[in-house]
Amino acid sequence: MVDNNKESTSTVRVKSMIEKNRQKQSFRSIGEKAVPNLLLGIAMISILTTIGIVFVLISETFEFFNRVSIVEFFTGTVLRPLSQDPKFGILPLINGTIISSVIAMVVAGPIGMMTAIYLSEYASDKARRVLKPVLELLAGIPTIVYGFFAFTFVTPFLRQFIPEMSATNILAPGLVMGVMIIPMIASLSEDAMNSVPNAMREGALALGSTKLEVTFKVIIPAAFSGIVAAFVLGISRAVGETMIVAIASGSSKNFTFDITQSMQTMTAYVVEVAGGDASRGSTIYYSLYAVAMTLFVFTLLMNILARYIARRFREEY
Amino acid sequence: MKFVTDIKNTRQEEKKQPTKVYDTKDLNLWYGNTHALKNVNFPIYEKEVTAIIGPSGCGKSTFLKTLNRMVELVPSVHTSGTIEYRGENILDPNFMVEDLRTKVGMVFQKPNPFPKSIYDNIAYGPRIHGIKDRKILDDIVESSLRGAAIWNEVKDRLKENAYGMSGGQQQRLCIARALAIEPDVILMDEPTSALDPKSTLKVEELIQELKKDFSIVIVTHNMQQAARISDRTAFMLNGELIEYDYTDDIFQHPKDERTEDYITGRFG
């Protein structure tokens, strides 16, 4: 009896409190309507910035092509922007970018992948809990440190074996870039493989597969789209990497395939010219934008390609 | 695939005790400090359906997974005693577990096809065991899917992803996948618990068909299912094998009081 009374009074109190609060409803609904707009506005900041950058890139690139023919730019193998008779062929830069990225991926791809396989399929929980954070720590080292390391350690080391190698060359920064990218590829591929349900592993093991067969024939195919994404991010990172190549590969604008020689990448060219005395309005100033635009289109195409590959070979579960 | 149809197991012949596929002696199993199986002695006979029933946590799935050593995927498992499969102790650390699992197939509680095409799901097993010839693989795929009574439903979409199928079809695909390497024994861990009644019926009919060629051990929560499809039934409780006999005897004249309580629905 007493309990019942208690209950009913408390119900009345709660009811009246809710009733009172509901009168503030109008205030609440204003908030409900305003917040999405506020959030949209904030989200627009990065979108508008991107649009702005692309717009500036395009308009300044147009100005550059008024002065230098587009055919010369994309087919020229000679780049000498500061000479009396300047030439603006971008091929040496594209060549340098591709070669350094390929060297980096030759290092980072297999090592990153094998690390991911170990972490996801073989390492004990305990080992994984220690190794993964350490690996991710490696990704936090500033690139200038890697660049310095390539220039003062890796190149002298390599010159013991390849004496004709020049003091600035594309091989050392390429290798070091690869080391820099390993954690990214390993960590993202491991995430993709780890998220494949355990039921798949059990199903494959129950058919008499060895662990290696489970990994290569079931887990990696199932995680393929995630692994492709990891590789593409790795390549994008290599293509966009600046400090390491700027320091360790010098600024020779050679068009060569000899990896023991100095080459310049697109990013390193931008650093060199922007840091030099390119006066505003000069042809060399506009060339910065043309190179940056090329770099942008480069990474964009790669991302599109990666999306296509990931969708094409996707194994959905 | 060989389909032996001339052996008709009449009740009389069964009484003569057919060959043992498995003979489990004094099996104990611990998960860490938890004693999950206690002195289990459990023979399993050829070309019969053996059902294991019991309440949740009684050790029936653990026992099933010990038969193909899948239980070892759980860290900190250790065992004592022996399980002889065709005369060899499979708990011997030198025993090749891949060989065992090639001969002893398994169907899981939830259908777990690989995220590949229907064809590649079936061909996976033969491929890892070295069969590469396209024509032979085609034959295996067809006969396995026919064996699992699903060929007519999927023959026109063998290249499609297995995840486009219904749950019941996926489970029969998993059975077909197990059949593709022509196992000796098929272990089934509550194969119908995730299925609707219609799919369940199909899988049960299939099990009846499969027992002509394979020895089947099935763990089930569903006592009616055990009564419908099995030749022998084992009742487990708290890690112990309480009673094991012909299914009819277990359900009609249980010898142990606890078995009677369980099958009459007094607990569990």
Reading chain B (268 residues) residue by residue, the pLDDT tens digits are 444 444 444 444 445 678 899 999 999 999 999 999 999 999 999 999 999 999 988 999 999 999 999 999 888 899 999 999 998 999 998 899 999 999 999 999 999 999 999 999 999 999 999 999 999 999 999 999 999 989 999 999 999 999 999 999 999 999 999 999 999 999 999 999 888 888 899 889 999 999 999 999 999 988 999 999 999 999 999 999 999 999 999 999 999 999 999 988 877 6
CA dist B34 and A54 (Å) reads 64
What type of residue sits at position B39? N
DSSP H/E element including A186? helix A171-194
Q: Which residues contact B189 (CB under 8 A, 6 or more apart)?
A: B61, B64, B65, B106, B107, B108, B109, B219
Asked if A208 lies within 8 A of B161 by C-beta distance, the reply is no
pLDDT, one tens digit per residue, over A63-122 is: 999 998 889 899 888 888 888 888 899 999 999 999 999 999 999 999 999 999 999 999
Asked if B101 lies within 8 A of A205 by C-beta distance, the reply is yes
What pLDDT score was predicted for residue B7?
A: 45
Structure token pair of residue A92 = 């040496």
What type of residue sits at position A286? Y
Asked if A210 lies within 8 A of B125 by C-beta distance, the reply is no
Q: What is the three-class DSSP state of B168?
A: helix
Asked if A217 lies within 8 A of B106 by C-beta distance, the reply is no
> Which chain A residues contact residue B161 at CB under 8 A?
315-316
Q: What is the DSSP string of A45-113?
A: HHHHHHHHHHHHHHHHHHHHHHHS-HHHHHH---EETTSSS-EE--HHHHHHHHHHHHHHHHHHHHHHH
| Domains of chain B, start order | 18-109+185-263 (3.40.50.300)
B268 burial via Cβ count (<10 Å: 0-12, 13-18, 19+): middle
Which of B90, B128, B163 is the best substitution to test chain A (most A C-beta atoms within 10 A)? Answer: B128
**What is the chain B residue with the closest CA to A202?**
B70
User: What is the reported pTM?
Assistant: 0.82
DSSP H/E element including B84? strand B77-85
Strands B232-237 and B49-53: parallel
Secondary structure (H, E, C), B112-129: CCCCCEHHHHHHHHHHHC
At which residue do the structure tokens 């043309």 appear? Answer: A290
B107 burial via Cβ count (<10 Å: 0-12, 13-18, 19+): buried
Residue B49, beta-bridge partner list: B216
Asked if B115 lies within 8 A of A202 by C-beta distance, the reply is no
What pLDDT score was predicted for residue B16?
A: 61
**What is the chain A residue with the closest CA to B70?**
A206
pLDDT, one tens digit per residue, over B78-132 is: 999 999 999 899 999 889 999 999 999 999 999 999 999 999 999 999 999 999 9
- Longest CA span, chain A: 104
Protein fold of A79-312: MetI-like fold (1.10.3720)
Which of A207, A213, A227, A316 is the best substitution to test chain B (most B C-beta atoms within 10 A)? Answer: A207
What count of CB pairs under 8 Å joins A to B?
73
Domain boundaries, chain A: 2-67, 79-312
Cβ–Cβ < 8 Å for B108, A202: yes
Question: Smallest Cβ distance to B101: which of A197, A199, A206?
Answer: A206
Is A223 touching B (CB cutoff 8 A)?
A: no
Is A317 touching B (CB cutoff 8 A)?
A: yes
Asked if A200 lies within 8 A of B114 by C-beta distance, the reply is yes
